[in-house]
Structure 1
Amino acid sequence: MEQKVWETIRKYNMLTEGEKVLVGVSGGADSCALLHCLCMLRKVMGLTVYACHVHHGLRGAEADRDEVFTAQLCEQLQVPLFVLHKDVGAEAKRRKIGTEQCGREIRYAFFEEKAAALGAKIATAHTASDNTETVLFHLTRGSGITGLCGIPPCRGNIIRPLIEVTRNEIEAYCLEQQLTYVTDSTNLTKDYSRNRIRWDVVPVLKELNPSLESAVSGLSQRMRETEAYLSQAAEAALIQAKVSGGYAAAVLQTLPEAVFAAAVRKLCAELALIPEAKHLALLHKIVYNGGAVEIGGGVTAVMSQGIFRIYRQTLPQDEVISGWQGQQALTVLNKKIDLLYVNIEEFHNGEKNHQFLLANSLDYDTIPITSCFRARRSGDQLTLWRRNVTKSVKKLLIECKVPREQRDSIVLLADGTQVLWLEGIGVGQAYAVTEATKSVLVIRPQNV
């Protein structure tokens, strides 16, 4: 098994000579075998090996036993051990998530914290058998390519040196090395879906194919290659389709459905959301026919005026910035607003060099002291410079085809309902720079 682990490390470039590695150790066969095997490679590769263990506070005396056992093993192998005690049950209730998910989040957060402090990679003891169970679990849920990719050999600074080793090979290694381990009693029950797959489904499939784990590992590798290709194609498509306010539907309509789905998943990932298959089908439909789809988590996709976009709906913000005079920068509605104060000579010089835009420049001496930066409100009006026409802000935004979901994030400078400046539209007639202007305020909005 040591040879197979060594080959896996080299195959996926998991570790190089002289690196530090932090091993997650539960006390079970898999993690004990991983720790022991890396210690055997310690001299060969010049590795510095550490271990970490999490006491979840869920299994009483059995969990206490696991911690004591892990500490003894690390002492025997001369490996520094870090231990975290956490009441996962209480924390799961607080976070309103399942106990299993909560435990996983706590473990990885602890691993990441310690690894960052040590400058080490994280090694977990996922095996080829774990990968098989994961793929089968995803398959029963109707997963797509991503689910069939299974457990990746590497993810960021996390490595899995046992990912091509089966559970039977690990147990044989423990027997050969006279390596003892503890058993988590919950793994022996059929209370969890994964355990039912392990004890009821996998044995039947191995009767059909004794090399099941190897076959599934091969499938996962091919799916990862396919997903990588689709991801690259989706990235290129999004770059090609990008326009102001979203993505050109005409470009998206030319994409194969698989590439379109990958592109949508990328956009949703930016909003920390994973779309379901039913959503992907609906989104593909509205790209051709127009309309909107609620994806969930406050996220909506819309296609109108030939532009497709996905956004998280936010409530109108009631943020008001007054007393701003003299400040160099503000943050309003999640946008940084730079304020430049220049005399008329500096302004004209900058205008020649295209440094200042008239649409964002006001006669500073005409601005009321009571004016403030804020979002739009009902009744707001703007008399446009050089057009001498007064319109409501709502009507102006509609005429300028500003998407509905973006209108409440537009910044304006107003005194009461009188708008002096409207982001993306321009300056009010009474506040524009003229021949009589002596001081100029230049407003430069930027997305934070």
Structure 2
Amino acid sequence: MLSRVKDTIKKFRMLSKGDTIVVGVSGGIDSVALLHMLTGLAEECKLSLIVAHLNHCMRGRESDRDEGFVKEIAKRLGIKCICRKMNISALARKGESLQDVARQARYRFFEEAADRYNADRIATGHTMDDQAETMVMRFLRGAGLSGLSGIPPVRGKYIRPLIDTTREEIERYAAVHGLKFVKDSSNKSTKYLRNKIRLKLMPIFDDYNPNMKIDMARLARILSRDEDYLKNKTKDFYKNLVARRDANTITFSLKKLRNLHDAIKARIFFIAVEELLGASKGFYSCHIEDFLELLSNKLPNISINLPGGMVLYKEYDNVTIERGQGAKGARSQKSGLPLQAVSRGAKSQEKKANISFEQELKTTGKTNVVEGKGLKIAELKAEIINCDSESEIQAPLTLILSHKGRGKGEGVAYFDYDKLKLPIVVRNFKHGDCFIPLGMKGHKKLQDLFIEKKIARRKRSLIPIIISGSEIIWVAGIRQAEYGKVEAKTKKILRIEMQEQTRTG
């Protein structure tokens, strides 16, 4: 068995001479056997070992017994030992799996220990049995290729030297070397899914295929190779797909996304989620199906609520994944929405935003446009310019941008000041708004303008609408109106510049 473990270490390049290794030791047979083997290799490979044990405080005196046992082993071997107590039950939120919370806390503890002692590796005692159980558990939960790849032999600093070794082999090794270890009484409880799989399901599989663990380990390697290839291909595509990126949103080109294979699209989705949330935990195949359906749907505006406070939008030519307020670290249950509900979701998102603002625009100086809850909508700067022989502006008509091609995001508009009715007001878009666009004679609904310019529904309420009297004179950044336009006889010009605007997605 020791030779196989050495082969595993060599095959996956787990160790280098002179490495410092944090060894996670629970006191159970797997971790005790791992520590024993690494101790035997320490002199040969010039390794420095540090034992790390987290007392989860979940089994009362038994947890304290385990901690004491690990300390005693480390003392006997002359190895530095780091132990910490953590009340996992107190840490867990309602509905969370204690096992998941304990595992996350344990890994954080290992990583802190590695950082503190500048360790090169963190070794854990995962075995071939753990690999098979993990694959079955993920299969039952509907995992994809990545999940079914199982436990990686090496992930960052983490190494699993026993991953090609069965528990039965470890038991024989412990017996031959007279290794003492402790038994976790909770391992017999079938209230935990992993235990239920180990105690109830795996024996049934063994009846059908006695070599199932070996075959599943082989399958995990095959799937892992395929997954690595697809991940690398996805990263190549991902760079060219991102149209816009900020702290809370990632926007993709819909056309480019649609041209990709579904396998790549699914991985694009997970990369974006992980960039925004730091992890993709809580996202499942049902969310991938929602994402793929959204991409193929012909409706121009669709939204889907995702776990972790995230929202997925398809808006004309773009697809945006947005992290909502408080999304970081948020926990969510599985949730996939049928597309019939998705198409209604876009309207519900707009109602939810409930953006409303109306205030007077200063004709000289800056106006910070702020909605009722304190959200800054835009910053507008206005000035009045006289058109005379002493002014820089002697021919007002040169200031009029052609109406052809307008809507490309002009941030400046010019008006004949004497035609305007004061006060000038800036407010949010309201349903039914209409105006006469510059260069046209008939009225146009703003809603039609937004559709024409492919302005996403949820962003429309964030666009400042500039009003003089009862007339809309500028849909800021998009289109100026015919009313109040500059002409050859204009004597005084009001120049308005939108210097800053809130962007979503």
Q: TM-score range by the shorter chain?
A: 0.7 to 0.9
Q: Which amino acid aligns with 1:259?
A: I
Tell me, which stretches of 5 or more residues in structure 1 are unaligned?
A: 326-331, 340-357, 364-374, 431-435
TM-score, normalised by the number of residues in structure 2: 0.67
For 1:1-20, list aligned pairs within 5 A: 1-20=1-20
Contact kept, 8 Å, 2:55 with 2:83, in 1: the verdict is yes
Q: Which amino acid aligns with 1:224?
A: S
Shift of 1:316: 5.2
Query: How many residues were matched structurally?
Result: 420
More helix by share: 1
Q: Which amino acid aligns with 1:111?
A: F
Mapped partners of 1:39, 1:426: distance in 2: 74
Shift of 1:243: 3.9
Q: Which amino acid aligns with 1:279?
A: H
Question: Aligned in 2, Cα 1:446/1:203: closer, same or farther, shift over 3 Å?
Answer: same
Mapped partners of 1:422, 1:158: distance in 2: 56
Q: Which amino acid aligns with 1:51?
A: V
Contact kept, 8 Å, 2:305 with 2:312, in 1: the verdict is yes
Match of 1:346 in 2: none
- How many percent identity over aligned positions? 30
Shift of 1:33: 0.9
TM-score, normalised by the number of residues in structure 1: 0.74
CA offsets per residue over residues 95-116 of structure 1, 9 Å max, x none?
6522111211211111111111
Question: Aligned in 2, Cα 1:293/1:403: closer, same or farther, shift over 3 Å?
Answer: closer
Mapped partners of 2:452, 2:99: distance in 1: 52
Aligned pair 1:249/2:254, yes or no?
yes
Match of 2:287 in 1: 279
Question: Aligned in 2, Cα 1:445/1:286: closer, same or farther, shift over 3 Å?
Answer: closer
Tell me, which stretches of 5 or more residues in structure 2 are unaligned?
A: 245-249, 326-351, 358-364, 367-373, 382-408, 415-426, 485-491
Question: Aligned in 2, Cα 1:8/1:295: closer, same or farther, shift over 3 Å?
Answer: farther
Q: Which amino acid aligns with 2:304?
A: E
308-317 vs 172-181, which moves further:
308-317
Question: Aligned in 2, Cα 1:306/1:180: closer, same or farther, shift over 3 Å?
Answer: same
Question: Aligned in 2, Cα 1:275/1:99: closer, same or farther, shift over 3 Å?
Answer: closer
Q: Which amino acid aligns with 2:109?
A: F
CA offsets per residue over residues 176-229 of structure 1, 9 Å max, x none?
221100000111232322122212222232333333222111101111111122
Match of 2:247 in 1: none
Match of 2:310 in 1: 299
Question: Aligned in 2, Cα 1:253/1:75: closer, same or farther, shift over 3 Å?
Answer: same
- Which of 296, 300, 310 lines up with 2:321 in the alignment? 310
Q: Which amino acid aligns with 2:312?
A: A
Shift of 1:45: 1.4
Q: Which amino acid aligns with 1:250?
A: K
Contact kept, 8 Å, 1:333 with 1:411, in 2: the verdict is no
Question: Aligned in 2, Cα 1:95/1:35: closer, same or farther, shift over 3 Å?
Answer: farther
CA offsets per residue over residues 44-93 of structure 1, 9 Å max, x none?
1111110111111121121121111111000111111111111111221x
Larger radius of gyration: 2
Contact kept, 8 Å, 1:360 with 1:426, in 2: the verdict is no
Match of 2:208 in 1: 208
Mapped partners of 1:82, 1:394: distance in 2: 64
Question: Aligned in 2, Cα 1:200/1:96: closer, same or farther, shift over 3 Å?
Answer: closer
- Where 2:151 maps in the other structure, the secondary structure is coil
Aligned pair 1:403/2:408, yes or no?
no
Question: Aligned in 2, Cα 1:16/1:425: closer, same or farther, shift over 3 Å?
Answer: farther
Match of 1:290 in 2: 298
Contact kept, 8 Å, 1:145 with 1:227, in 2: the verdict is yes
Match of 2:36 in 1: 36
After superposition, the CA RMSD in angstroms is 4.7
Mapped partners of 1:377, 1:401: distance in 2: 15
- Where 2:16 maps in the other structure, the secondary structure is coil
Contact kept, 8 Å, 1:123 with 1:161, in 2: the verdict is yes
Contact kept, 8 Å, 2:17 with 2:46, in 1: the verdict is yes
Contact kept, 8 Å, 1:51 with 1:80, in 2: the verdict is yes
